[in-house]
Every structure is written in structure tokens, then in C-alpha cells.
Amino acid sequence: MRVPARSYFQARSTSARGVLAVIGLAVGALASACTSSTLGAGHPGFATPRAGTSTPSGVTRPSGSVSSSGSAGTVATKPVRTVAVDKTASGMKYTVTVWVEDRQADCAAHAYGAAVTTYLQAHPCESMSRALATTTVGGHPVELARESIGFAGQAPAVYQVATDFQALEEKDGTGSLADLLREGHSFTGSSARIPNTDAFDAEAQDSGVTIVDSWYLDGPTPANTAALVAMAKDLFLQF
């Protein structure tokens, strides 16, 4: 297990992260269903379908809902979509409000840290999707930054590429995929950056890896809070 204790503008250097399960679906498919009991209620729903155009950086910008924060980023004032997640491995339910999302083809250009960047240059991705979202866990508002990457290659060799990248993400001082906050994108009321202590989760399956950092918006987040790590696992491939 690794406990995040990093400076935001440095490569991720943590200790004591949770043992990360490798699940078995392709990136973009829905996770398998389980029982349904409630925990995370999430934010009230907004627009249902994704409705937006893309900026040159690929960030989704719904009409009239995003204002410029300068040449480097955007500030969303309305969500782009909401997702009701009611079939999870734990049986918990969540409503996830996605405020900003994008898709990138050059993953190495949107990463930091020598080890991660070098790996992505040697093993090019097919694409990476990123999102800033909110939900509610145990009655507390939660913000999360998610990066999902799919590697190019043929099975089964590409599966090992994804597994090795997950392992690299779990090591100290290797760097990571750049989250949207790091690259200047945000939404009204969002954090300026990922806090020094948060909950981290990385999941790999088939040719894909998903990284999630999450934290409470109404108070401090103890490193690798169990409820938030469980939430990240529940939401894997769900939005």
C-alpha cells in the first residue's frame, strides 16, 4: 500500500498504496453488476446526454457552460453529463457528475516523471480519456480526477504492457498521467489541484489502465481513505 504524500508539481512519490485488483473487461465496457444497497447518493442529475464541442485541447465544452481561464485551460460552470451507477461490485450506488472531460492521442505528452514518460514513449497508447467529476460518499461531497489509458498492440502481449504500466504507477517517484487540474482545467467550486493527501487507486484489465485520485471537498482526506478507494473500484469502467 502507498500513502500519497507528494508535492503536486513533482512526480508522484507515495508509500503504502492499496493492493490493486486486476479486473477483466476491456476499457470502455461496463463493469459487471452486483446487489444494490445505497451509500453514495451523488450530486443531483443535470444533462443526460453528453452535449458539447471540443476545444483545441480536446476538453469537452458544453455550449454556454465554460469560460476561459487563459490559454492553458478552461473553467466549467455546468456539468457535461451525469451518470447513475447503481450496479457495483460492493452493491453501493453513486451519482457521478462529470464536469470536464477530454480525450488525448499522445499520452506521453500528457504525463510527467521520467519513468512514466519514458514507458509511454516506448509503449504508445491508442488514446487516453480524462475526467474531473464529483459524487457523494457517506454523506460527504467528493471530487475525483480520473485518467483511463488504452495501449496499442496485440493480445495477449498488450495485456502485459498494461499490467506493467499499472505496476509502474504504484511505485515511488515514477510520475503519472497528468490529470486535468494539473493542466489548468477545472470547474466552479473545484479544487485548484489534487491535495497532498488523497485516495489513490489504479486498475488494469486487458489493454487498459485507469488511475483515480479522489478527495473530500468538505474537509481533509486521510491518505488512502478506505471508502474512497472502494468508490474508485466501484466506478471502474462505469463512466
Which pLDDT belongs to residue 54? 29
With vertex at residue 135, the alpha carbon angle to CA 130 and CA 138, rounded to the nearest 5 degrees, is 140
Which pLDDT belongs to residue 137? 98
What percent of the residues of the chain are helix, what percent strand, and what percent coil, each to the nearest 5? Answer: 15, 35, 50
Which pLDDT belongs to residue 136? 98
- Quick check: 181 pLDDT over 50? yes
Which pLDDT belongs to residue 10? 36
Which pLDDT belongs to residue 127? 97
CA distance 147 to 102: 10
- Quick check: 148 pLDDT over 80? yes
Q: Where are the alpha helices (DSSP H) in the chain?
A: 114-122, 157-170, 226-234
Domain boundaries, the chain: 25-48+66-234
Tens digits of per-residue pLDDT, 12-65? 433 334 333 333 333 333 333 333 222 333 322 222 222 222 232 334 333 223
Tens digits of per-residue pLDDT, 168-179? 999 989 999 999
CA distance 226 to 171: 20
Q: Name the pairing type of β-strands 208-216 and 140-151.
A: antiparallel
Which pLDDT belongs to residue 17? 40
Query: What does pLDDT average to over the chain?
Result: 78
